[in-house]
Copies of this chain bind each other. A is one copy, B any other.
Amino acid sequence: MNIKEQLDYLFNPRSAAVIGASSVFGKWGFNILGRMLTCKGDREIYAINNKESEVLGLKAYKSLLEVPGPVDLAVLTVPFQALAQAMQDCVQKGVKVAIVITGGLAEVGEDGEKIEREIVAIARRGGIRVVGPNCLGHFDTFSGFYTVPFLPQVKKGSIALISQSGNSSQSILNHGLEMGLGFSKFISSGNEGDLRFVDYLEYLEQDEKTDVILGYVEGIREGRRFLEVATRITKKKPIVIMKAGRSDIGARAARSHSAALAGSNEVLDAAFKQCGVLRVDELTEMVDVAVALLGQPLPRGRRVGVLAMGGGMAVMAADALRKEGLELPHLSASTMDTINTLLSQRWSRGNPVDPAGDFVSYHILWPMIEDDNFDSVIIIGGVAMTSSFAGWAGIPPSMKYDAARLRRGMERAEVGNLNKTIEMMKKHRKTVIFVTMIWGAKRQGRIFRKLRQNYLEPYDTLEKAARVLARLVAYSEYLGVARRG
């Protein structure tokens, strides 16, 4: 079987068993079986527990070998001492893929490493591929099958995530869902005793549901193969990687977490660059970049037009963009003329555009999108201004009614303006990044929904926007879409 055929049993098994199923809330054998039961569908789900006769309403079998039907996928949550026997049962039963949740193996030292090698050897002899050990499960939103617990409802979409850390992946998934991302597949790869990061990459390369691959990585094994595979994939689908364990103590912690050998950061950075992988520095940045990869055309170069709600934002945007090596060329004469008709004489008369007391509007944005001097435009503030409206203290009571009516009218108008903006982005193949200083619970309502649906969720700092744009430009240059800076 090739990797595609093998992992199809992982993502869409006809039957699955939890070895170590538990009725105790909070135990892995409970959390994971509970999750599987809520998305069971037509699958056969079996509970294996050698002490109980029933777990979570299922008949519990003392051993996998007692299960009447075939079992494609086994999830092992038993203590590490019981793993070898459980894996032998899997082989005897003809299991195709085993997810080993259990930790305490290669990541804790030599003794654990020995056990890990042993169970992987048993699996390999029996033709079983192993996910983990020391992992958190996986999901496939299209087959509708989940083993990973502790997540909100996951939206279907084209983002896949491979993570060597369970808790990091939960943060990425949670934050991604908040930022409007949908996911195709997720794998918590753990210690990668058998299946490695690069194996999952190869699978996702062939996965039609996946357009963007995200990876949280502490160490890369089989460096040469990774380079080869990644080079091939990034021509078709972007790969975004967060590499952790860059510091002395971070690398040591990675060893005891996912048994990863961190390797030289300089070598890895050079390798990532060479094969077109987009490296990010923070988990949240991974989500920020993924959103932009879905919502934006790749910029044709590094020339950025900035439209800011005010002068402070204009100054800080320029700082942030310059720090990332991006350029802020002049406005064309025709854009100058147009903006002159829209704003009072006080405006900054250059890029960044600071309306200097007037309000930012889409009417200023549009000529900037059309301006051939720019490959992309950043608009700061001016989005969903009406969202915070009702919350302003100091609207005189006599105006309350008018304010509410005004708000509805402005919201309606903005949806229309957004539609036009999205059309223009497509027509002129321009990247348009939104930034808003609206935080937290206030990011709701019609405008934010519309932005989110189109993967245009506004970033909440200028620095995030600048970093995202710089990644897009780098990828675009790598692919030869953009002139090189």
Q: Is the CB of B313 within 8 A of A168?
A: yes
| Cβ-defined contact, A319 with B149, below 8 A | no
Judge whether A15 is part of the interface by a CB distance below 8 angstroms: no
A357 located at the interface, meaning its Cβ lies under 8 Å from any Cβ of chain B in the complex = yes
A312 touches B346 (CB 8 A): no
Interchain Cβ contacts under 8 Å between A and B, 20 examples: A26-B359, A35-B393, A56-B398, A104-B346, A107-B311, A134-B356, A149-B394, A167-B310, A167-B312, A178-B439, A244-B316, A244-B319, A248-B322, A253-B318, A256-B348, A257-B348, A258-B312, A282-B463, A283-B461, A284-B460
Q: CB distance B25 to A245 under 8 Å?
A: no
Instruction: State which of A65-73, A415-423, A440-448 sits at the interface with chain B.
Output: A440-448
Q: A157 within 8 Å of B by Cβ?
A: no
Say whether, besides A151-B392, A248-B322, A440 and B441 are in contact (CB < 8 Å): yes
Decide if A151 touches B247 in the complex (CB within 8 Å).
no
The answer to the question of A230 belonging to the interface, with a C-beta cut-off of 8 Å to chain B, is no
Closest residue on chain B to residue A102 by CB atoms: B357
Say yes or no: A395 contacts B167, CB within 8 Å.
no
B-chain residues with CB within 8 Å of residue A158 when the two chains form the complex: none
How many residues on chain A are close to B (CB under 8 Å)?
105
Complex Cα–Cα for A398 and B257 (A): 34
Cross-chain contact of A253 among B134, B152, B352, B395 (Cβ < 8 A): B352
A188 to chain B, nearest CB (A): 10
Q: Which of the listed residues A104, A245, A253 has the most CB atoms from chain B within 10 Å of its own CB? A: A253
User: Is A370 interfacial (CB-CB < 8 Å)?
Assistant: no
Copy total for this chain: 2
Among A5-13, A169-177, A192-200, A204-212, the one that faces the other chain is A169-177
A33 to chain B, nearest CB (A): 9
Kindly state the separation between the CA atoms of A321 and B134 in the bound complex, as whole angstroms.
Answer: 26
- In the bound complex, residues from chain B placing their C-beta under 8 Å from that of A174 are 388, 437-439
Judged by a CB distance under 8 angstroms, whether A153 is at the interface is: yes
The answer to whether the Cβ of A434 comes within 8 Å of any Cβ in the partner chain is no
Q: Tell me if A424 is interfacial: C-beta within 8 Å of chain B.
A: no
Given contacts A244-B319, A248-B322, contact A394 B439 (CB under 8 A): no
Q: Mark A239-272, 1 if CB is under 8 A from B, else 0.
A: 0000011111110111011100000000000000
Q: Using known A-B contacts A35-B393, A399-B34, determine if residue A167 contacts B313 with beta carbons closer than 8 Å.
A: yes
Residues of B within 8 A of A257 (CB): 310-312, 314-315, 348, 354, 356
Cβ contacts under 8 Å, A28 to chain B: 357
Given A31-B394, A146-B394, list of 9 further CB < 8 A pairs?
A26-B359, A103-B356, A168-B312, A245-B319, A247-B323, A253-B318, A257-B354, A282-B462, A441-B441
Complex interface: chain B residues within 8 A of A31 (CB)? 394
Given contacts A318-B247, A392-B150, A178 and B440 within 8 Å (CB-CB): yes
Q: How far is the CA of A35 from the CA of B399 in the complex (A)?
A: 12
| Measured CA separation A169–B310 after assembly (Å) | 11
Q: Smallest Cβ distance from A316 to chain B, in angstroms?
A: 5
Please tell me if the beta carbons of A247 and B168 are within 8 angstroms of each other in the complex. Answer: no
4 closest Cβ pairs, A-B complex? A165-B312, A167-B310, A257-B311, A168-B312
Residues of B contacting A344 with CB < 8 Å? 104
CB 8 Å contact bits of A132-149 with B (1 = contact, 0 = none): 001000000000001001
Most buried by B among A56, A163, A244, A349: A244
Instruction: Tell me how far the C-beta of A130 lies from the nearest C-beta in chain B, rounded to whole angstroms.
Output: 18
Q: Nearest-CB distance from A341 to chain B (Å)?
A: 17
CB < 8 Å: which of B169, B318, B395, B461 contacts A284?
B461
